[in-house]
Amino acid sequence: MSVPEEFLYLSPPHMGGREQAYVQQAFDQNWITTAGANVTGFEQELATYLGVPAMAALASGTAALHLGLLALGAGPGDEVFCSSFTFVASTNPIRYVGATPVLIDSEPITWNLCPKALEAALQDRQKKGQLPKALMLVHLYGMPSRMQEIQELTQHYGVPILEDAAEALGSRYHNRFVGTFGKVGVFSFNGNKIITTSGGGALVSDDVALVEQARWLAMQAKDDLPYYHHTTMGYNYRLSNISAGIGRGQLEVLEERVQQRRTVFENYLQLLQDVEELEWHQEPDGFYSNRWLSCFTLKKNSGVNPEKLRLHLLAANIESRPLWQPMHRQPLYSSCDYFGDQVSDDLFARGLCLPSGSSLSFSDQERVAFILRKAFRG
């Protein structure tokens, strides 16, 4: 009886070895809380890496998006523009603050927000006398968005950008880290991200006072008095000192992880170069993706759909995943205004993400490629 091959996960955590030392430090110092040397150290070290003056370490990327919207003043009666082709965690915080999402389609090269669709939406709202409070801009699968065109539009209309760079830590647009272009930037350290704190997030900004306000809100908004006194609604959103210790160890190997993920993508290109049905996620000149996930779309005449491939891979103990279903196709957000030409619908219908972890071996990738070839031959 043959032994089943090891299950290949889409994007598993990859420890560097130093994480336990930082966690042990938290235990040795008895800082088993949301304060301590790891929290402040992680904030300082990530801010230095990104080249920003301040960062708040939070319990999740979703919490960071929520606080970012509050920092930009979004609330009931406001609209917030958001990339439609994304995970629901991008849009949900818009409703947390009582605002209304307006969904913007993708463009077909980067798969991120389409500047032309954004311009049409901005023109429409200007005519109606209600420009959005903010733009929630997502850098999908680690690929930077078209920042020059998008910033020119948002600056012209006076709309601040909140960058959802949850999937894009380490990615650059013309040598500048994504997440540092907008008024607020957000990152995620969920277990499947390029580095992890087991669960966590970050809010960054060039505005130090904004970050300090977000950090204060994340700690229940306790006023500066010797007793518990509250004048503002706060949240329990602070990252723990133990989780931050994992993050400090992970941050030491971040650049290595980016290179490893980029190598995984290049390996797939090499191994599957003869499979003409595949169209890989492109990286334009001046764009530098961390390649968080290696993704492709199927040519329209391929005769194979991504669900058939997904099931074929799963039968061989290999996890894969469809591209994001656009928010304007989700029952939760189907009533929202939408601007675009269904580019993201087409990407969802034809796309698939392959195992992409930084610990994935070349032989594992050969196994993935072999199974994919069998699916096409079958």
pLDDT tens digits along 287-335: 999 999 999 999 988 888 999 999 999 999 999 999 999 999 999 999 9
Mean pLDDT of 124-149: 98
With contact defined as beta carbons under 8 Å apart, do 142 and 291 qualify? yes
pLDDT in tens, 167-186: 999 999 999 999 999 999 99
**CA-based radius of gyration for the chain:** 21
Residue ranges covered by each domain of the chain: 19-253, 255-377
pLDDT for res 270: 98
pLDDT at 48 over 80: yes
The two structure tokens encoding residue 321: 């995943």
Half-sphere exposure (Cβ direction) of 125: Cα atoms closer than 13 Å:
27
CATH number attached to the domain at 255-377:
3.90.1150.10
- Give CA separation, 359 vs 8, 97, 142, 172, 263, in Å: 11, 39, 18, 22, 11
Give pLDDT tens digits for 226-250.
999 999 999 999 999 999 999 999 9
Q: What is the band of 3 on the pLDDT scale with cuts at 50, 70, 90? A: low
Short-list 246, 202, 250, 188, CA closest to 26:
246
CATH for the stretch 19-253: 3.40.640.10
Average pLDDT, rounded, for the chain? 97
Token pair 């219908």 in the structure block, residue: 349
Is residue 273 exposed (0-12), middle (13-18) or buried (19+ Cβ within 10 Å)?
exposed
**Which whole-number Å values give the CA distances from 151 to 120, 184, 215, 253, in the listed order?**
15, 13, 27, 31
Q: What is the pLDDT of residues 60-74, one digit of tens each?
A: 999 999 999 999 999
Q: If you average pLDDT over residues 160-169, what whole number do you get?
A: 98
Q: Pairing mode, if any, of strands 351-354 and 294-298?
A: antiparallel
pLDDT at 2: 58
Confidence band, pLDDT 50/70/90 cuts, at residue 360 = very high
Token digits for 350? 């034809």
For residue 377, what pLDDT is reported?
83
pLDDT at 38: 98
pLDDT at 1: 46
| Separation of alpha carbons 200 and 44, rounded Å | 16
Cα 332 to Cα 146: distance, rounded to the nearest angstrom? 28
Q: Over the stretch 10-19, which tens digit does the pLDDT of each residue have?
A: 999 999 999 9
Question: pLDDT by residue (tens digit) across 17-43?
Answer: 999 999 999 999 999 999 999 999 999
pLDDT per position as a tens digit, 78-114: 999 999 999 999 999 999 999 999 999 999 999 999 9
Q: Which residue has the tokens 């699916």?
A: 375
Facing residues of 202 across strands?
57, 187
